[in-house]
Amino acid sequence: MIVSVLGTAAGTDTLAATSSYLVDNNTLLDCGTGVETLPTESLLAIERVLLTHAHVDHVGGLAALLACHAQHGGQGVTVHTQQETVDELTSGLLADVPLTGYLTTPGAGGLPLLRFQSLEVGDTIPLPDGMATALPAQHRSPAIGWVIEGPWRALAYTGDSGPCPAFWHWAANVPSLSDIICELTYASSDAERAKAEGHMTPGVLLGLLEVIPPNVQIWISHLSSAQREQALSEIKRIAPANLNIAELKPGTVIDL
Q: 29-40 pLDDT, tens per residue?
A: 999 999 999 999
Name the residue ranges covered by the structural domains of the chain.
2-255
Q: What are phi and psi of 232, to 5 degrees?
A: -65, -45
Model pLDDT, residue 31: 97
Distance CA 111, CA 113 (A): 6
CB crowding 110-146: b at 16 or more within 10 Å, else e: eebbbebeebeeeeebebeebebbbbbbbbeebbbbb
Residues in the chain: 256
Asked whether residue 13 carries a pLDDT value surpassing 80, the answer given is: no
Model pLDDT, residue 93: 75
Query: What is the pLDDT confidence band of residue 244, given thresholds at 50, 70 and 90?
Result: very high
| pLDDT tens column, 172-196 | 999 999 999 999 999 999 999 999 9
Percent of the chain scored above 70 by pLDDT?
98
Q: Name the helix (H) or strand (E) containing 80.
A: strand 77-82
Mean pLDDT of 120-147: 97
Work out the mean pLDDT of the chain and round it to a whole number. Answer: 94
The hierarchical CATH code for the domain 2-255 is 3.60.15.10
Amino acid at 233: S
Asked whether residue 91 carries a pLDDT value surpassing 90, the answer given is: no
Query: What is the pLDDT confidence band of residue 247, given thresholds at 50, 70 and 90?
Result: very high
Mean pLDDT of 81-102: 85
Asked whether residue 199 carries a pLDDT value surpassing 90, the answer given is: yes
| pLDDT tens column, 207-243 | 999 999 999 999 999 998 889 999 999 999 999 989 9
